[in-house]
Chains A and B, each alone.
Chain A
Amino acid sequence: MKKYILKRVLYSIVAILVLLFLLFLMLDMMPGSPFNDDKLSTEQIEALNEKYGLDDPFVVQYFRYLFSIIKGDFGVSYNIASNVPITDLLETRLPTSIRLGGQAVLLGATAGLILGLVAALKHNTIFDTIATIISVLGVSLPSYVFALALSYTLGYRLGWFPLLYDSTSPFISSVLPTVALSMFSMANIARFTRTEMLEVLRSDYMLLAESKGISGPKLIIRHALRNALIPIITVLGPLIVNTMTGSLVIEKIFSIPGIGELMVRSIQQNDYNVTIALSFIYSLMYIGIMLVVDILYGIIDPRIRLSKEDNHES
């Protein structure tokens, strides 16, 4: 087990180093230089290059960049907020995005669980069909389809919810974005719960539990659902990726001041420093979460760990 965790941590570190290298390469390849000013003479530019170490070999520059990132220094923004350190921009935006993502996953997990459970218990009935249709739609359609549909109907036509995010009333104005963002998680978890529950309900130990006289909610929750949910970790990966990607679009539609909206804006306004800093943060979150998921996976189900290691060796 220790070996497995160590291996996974090592991969994550390598992935981060590769990522930083790519990002640095990207910065290097971007057109223009920091000193694009006609008034500067060649000598002055040379002096500036020397001052900031831009004449140093590529590798030296890379490691300098690496250490400043590790210290949490991403540089300053150019266009969005001139000369403001990116860390300052992130300070308020990161919590907003994390809260939105968290809400969406929470809502998606709860609704999905209920939907999947109902579908499995009422297998082959109209409830099952409805749940299946909802989950197929949720998995297939991009989250902005839901976002636009919700904000047009519930937001604009009926006027129940605000069309745009308002930081003075963060709950009510985050209802629509949360629902839109949660659709994929909900659909995925509903699908998964249904399949697993159907399998568990058919198993021998359920028959045993039933014959021991256990029935009702206790039978379903204690004996069936608990076993069905163990492998749910497998869907966490795609779920997180989708929530991250979706948040970019959702934050833009509802103009939520989070990092997704900042990312879109930095792309549109060519603020490379911000784009690269956010790319790094997204990747860091992703790599971190995947690491935790993989380790949990190994702890919960030793079979997965073993088969994974088998594959590595063969």
Chain B
Amino acid sequence: MKAENFDYSALPQDAFELTHNDVNAHVDRNFASQNYWKDALVRFLRNKGAIFGLIMIAVIIFFAAFGPSMTPYTYESQIIDQQNLAPRIPFLENFGIFDGTETMRLGEVELEVNGYESKGLDDVYYWFGSDTLGRDIFTRVWEGTRISLYIAVVAVVIDVLFGLSYGLVSGYFGGKLDAVMQRCAEILNSIPNLVIVTLMILVLSPGLGAIIVALMITGWIPMSRIARAQMLKLKEQEFVLASKTLGASPLRIIFKEIMPNIIGQIITQTMFSIPHAIFTEAFLAFVGLGIPAPMASLGTLISDAYKNFTTHPYMIISPLVVLALLMLSFNLVADGLRDALDPKQKDM
């Protein structure tokens, strides 16, 4: 039978069966090449912890920006006869929580005290309570959060300006320059940060400026190590050689050719240095080297409230929770970014 004479229309409808249809076909999605950033975004969004962290950071930034102006108080205004009031929040007070009642313990006796009622302050609300000097803790906590966020920004700038360029330059030029630069970093790194920071602040008087200088001296070393290691890995590759042959200057090769290739690691490391910087400030405040009163940072709020945290625990809870959430969130986001941007390092 010749093909051209064959009458296809005479075939019944079910003479052919569709095989290799969509259900059975294997489309290689796992290893399909995809845009690096799109891929990273998908991985990041799949990470529940990182999303939680991101949302918490957004919430904290919102309150740090607008929180202090939500109340009729300022961070330094003292109302002497409204000291030591427990948290009281409108609406929620009707449910028996946050109604300004606190439990006082006198030996074995437990006493329910409501400072608002005994002082006749019916229309006064301190959402997070008021401190021993009659200042609003809500306002002070968010004012303090601003300082912590400010320090976070400073940490990023230090990382990028000092750490990144130090590591990249040291790695790219190599030889004697690298040896000298690495010895310097190594010696600086073998003195505990704690000691350097403490001594710096003793010499400069305590304050935000001193804390920033102290962070500048020690904060950049981890970043410089990562940048250098990546540079050593990349600088022998063909695209760098090609660029060199075309006459590109070292500056162009470092920042235009190589840096885009290591941006993932840089972002991750930057995120990790943020909680570290925030912690350093809180730590310094706790040992008495924080920013001076009446300014407040989360660290100084905690260290002040610590003195009477058994009698008025609400004073320490809010700054402590905000600090803990802030550090946790940045850590979670950093973890998520590392997994997303650098899948090879996953599970580390």
Contact = CB atoms under 8 A, between A and B. Distances in A.
Nearest to A142: B279
Given A11-B186, A142-B279, A156-B310, A19 B199 contact: no
Contact of A248 (B186, B194, B202): B194
Interface stretch (A108-116, A280-288, A296-304): A280-288
A139 interface: yes
A142 B195 contact: no
A142 B283 contact: yes
Given A152-B309, A275-B198, A312-B179, A283 B323 contact: no
Chain B facing A: main interface SS: helix
Contacts of B282: 142
A23 B348 CA distance: 38
A152 B105 CA distance: 13
A138 B92 CA distance: 32
Interface stretch (B29-37, B238-246, B284-292): B284-292
Given A248-B194, A279-B199, A136 B310 contact: no
A139 B332 CA distance: 10
B199 A26 contact: yes
Interface stretch (A169-177, A215-223, A264-272): A264-272
Contact of B192 (A18, A136, A152, A286): A286
Interface in A159-196: 163, 195
Contacts of A199: 347
B347 A195 contact: yes
Contacts of B283: 142, 245, 248-249
Contacts of A144: 286, 302
B191 interface: yes
Contacts of A139: 331
Contact of A241 (B193, B316, B347): B193
B335 interface: yes
B192 A283 contact: yes
B73 interface: no
B287 A252 contact: yes
A249 B194 CA distance: 12
B347 A198 contact: yes
A140 interface: yes
Contacts of A283: 190-192, 195
Contacts of B324: 140-141, 145
Contacts of A245: 192-194, 283
A249 B323 contact: no
A175 B284 CA distance: 25
Interface string B187-209: 10011111100110011000000
A20 B196 CA distance: 12
Chain A facing B: main interface SS: helix
A50 B306 CA distance: 48
A248 B309 CA distance: 19
Contacts of B288: 264, 267-268
A265 B300 CA distance: 16
A141 B327 contact: yes
Interface string B217-258: 000000000000100100000000000000000000000000
B207 to A, nearest CB: 15
Nearest to A19: B191
Interface string A77-93: 00000000000000000
B192 A267 contact: no
B89 to A, nearest CB: 22
A31 to B, nearest CB: 10
B187 A148 contact: no
B248 to A, nearest CB: 21
B279 A267 contact: no
B267 interface: no
B49 interface: yes
B313 interface: yes
Contacts of A145: 320, 323-324
Given A144-B302, A241-B193, A312-B179, A248 B287 contact: yes
A225 to B, nearest CB: 17
A137 B193 CA distance: 23
A267 B198 contact: yes
B199 A312 contact: no
Interface string B326-344: 0110111001000000000
Given A11-B186, A152-B310, A244-B194, A140 B331 contact: yes
A197 B33 CA distance: 31
A136 B331 contact: yes
Interface in A6-33: 11-12, 14-15, 18-19, 22-23, 26, 29-30
B194 A287 contact: no
Interface string B156-195: 0000000000000000001000110011001100111111
B275 interface: yes
Contact of B286 (A136, A252, A286): A252
A279 B195 contact: yes
Given A267-B288, A283-B191, A148 B182 contact: no
Nearest to B206: A267
17 contacts: A12-B190, A14-B187, A15-B190, A22-B191, A136-B332, A142-B327, A145-B324, A152-B313, A245-B192, A245-B283, A249-B283, A249-B287, A267-B198, A275-B199, A283-B191, A314-B174, A314-B232
Given A15-B187, A145-B320, A267-B198, 17 more contacts: A22-B191, A26-B199, A141-B327, A141-B328, A142-B279, A142-B282, A145-B324, A156-B310, A195-B347, A249-B286, A252-B286, A253-B306, A272-B202, A279-B199, A283-B190, A287-B191, A314-B232
